[in-house]
Structure 1
Amino acid sequence: MEENRILDKIKKCLEMAKGKSSNPNEAEIALRQAHKLMEIYNLEMGDVLASMAGEAKVAAGSESDPPAWRVRLARVCAEAFGTHFIISTSWFEQASFIFIGCAAAPELAGYAYQVLERQLQKARRDYLATQKRCKRSTKVARGDAFAHGWLDAVSTKVEQFAGVEENIAEAIQAYMSKKYPKLGPAKMKRHKLKARDEVASDAGYRAGKNAQLHHGLGHQPVARLTQGVS
């Protein structure tokens, strides 16, 4: 698109103006050129910042509102890769998480969520298989408590990747304001644990402690969760 081409040109001019050119005159000319292009095409700095961000969408595993532990997992992954996330729900499609960030961060956050979610689902399923003679509601509550316990252990490991540079945060905010201006905050429900649920939470925490998150080659964040040895 023509607008994308112009935005790319403006971004290059701004990069040169910020010091990528060793010649002060060239930096000043680049800044003037960026302002001129913005004026000609009726663009604001918010448009330029928003063009630096993008999004990646992953299924939230629910036809309606995803449970609190899935939302929490999405938040952990979003923070780890310096992204923002929103919950997308509608009557005609399954719920999904949308990760918003710069460069490859949204895809990495989405991939991390999918990998971690599979591991957590398996651990939760294995634990529930040990729960006999329970009502469905009791089983669901214990499964959710287990999941939160698992996340209590894993979140500290994932958070080691966290850190957002100011200009990235500004780009994400500009993207959100441009594409999702009417979005409201989501409330995460987490019920008070009963005695049996606390047992499930402790079991989840022990299982989560055995999870390991590794960096890839060159210290690039790669979402690969493996079961370690306790």
Structure 2
Amino acid sequence: MMDKQKVLSKVAKLMALAKSNGASTNEVETALRQARNLMKRYNLEHIEVEAHSVDEVSVVTNTRRHLKTGCTRWQQLAQKPSTAATLPISTR
């Protein structure tokens, strides 16, 4: 007897195969039949299979934050006094 997580994983893979664009009609029917049989045998609901197949992803935002204050780098630079006002003016 398989544990519930393995069964959920197997059913999720079968459902993905059934939904894939490259699967033949026979593959789709076989995958759905096997998925239904496993769900019936292990008393699983469709929602459990869907919840098991949810993936987490991370997204890179390229935002820099100062860990202590939450201040971004451009805000830190904006708070510094400008050195442009103290530069000598060229008289060429």
TM class by shorter chain equals: 0.5 to 0.7
Q: Deviations over 1:109-146 (max 9, x none)?
A: 8xx9xx85x63x425xxxxxxxxxxxxxxxxxxxxxxx
Q: Are residues 20 and 37 of structure 1, via their aligned partners in 2, closer, same or farther at CA, if it must alter by over 3 Å?
A: farther
* TM-superposed deviation, 1:52: 2.5
What is the TM-score of this pair, normalised by structure 2? 0.60
Which blocks of at least 5 consecutive residues in structure 2 are unaligned?
Answer: 79-92
Q: Which residue of 1 aligns with 2:81?
A: none
Percent of aligned positions that are identical: 31
In structure 1, what residue type is equivalent to 2:69? K
Whole-angstrom distance in 1 between the partners of 2:8 and 2:44: 9
> Any stretches of 5+ residues in structure 1 without a counterpart?
54-101, 124-206, 212-226
What are the Cα deviations for residues 143-167 of structure 1, in whole angstroms up to 9, with x where unaligned?
A: xxxxxxxxxxxxxxxxxxxxxxxxx
Q: Specify which of 45, 55, 69 is matched with residue 122 of structure 1.
A: 69
Secondary structure class of the residue paired with 2:43: coil
Shift of residue 20, structure 1, vs aligned partner:
4.6
- Cα deviation digits, residues 179-212 of structure 1 (max 9, x gap): xxxxxxxxxxxxxxxxxxxxxxxxxxxx5xxx3x
Moved >6 Å (runs of 4+): none
Report matched runs for 1:160-199 at 5 Å: none
- Residues 30 and 51 of structure 1: CA distance in aligned 2, closer, same or farther (over 3 Å): same
Query: If you compute each CA radius of gyration, which structure gives the higher value, 1 or 2?
Result: 2
Give how far 1:45 is off: 0.9
Structure 1 residues 31 and 21: CA distance shift in structure 2, 3 A: farther
Q: Measure the CA separation in 1 of the matches of 2:24 and 2:49.
A: 24
* Alignment check: 8 A CA contact 1:16 1:30 kept: yes
For 1:6 and 1:26, locate their aligned partners in 2 and report how far apart those are by CA, in whole Å. 19
CA offset digits 1:86-116 (Å, max 9, x no partner)? xxxxxxxxxxxxxxxx23x3xx48xx9xx85
The amino acid across from 2:36 in the alignment is: H
Q: Is the 8 A contact 2:15 2:31 kept in 1?
A: yes
Aligned pairs, number? 72
**Counting strand residues as a fraction of each chain, which structure ranks higher?**
1
TM-score normalised by length of structure 1: 0.27
Residue 51 of structure 1: aligned partner: 52
Instruction: Calculate the aligned-residue CA RMSD, in Å.
Output: 2.9
Contact 1:21–1:27 (Cα < 8 Å) also in 2: no
Matches within 5 A, 1:1-230: 2-53=3-54, 102-103=55-56, 105=57, 108=58, 119=67, 121-123=68-70, 211=72, 227-228=73-74
Whether contact under 8 Å (1:13, 1:31) holds in the other structure is yes
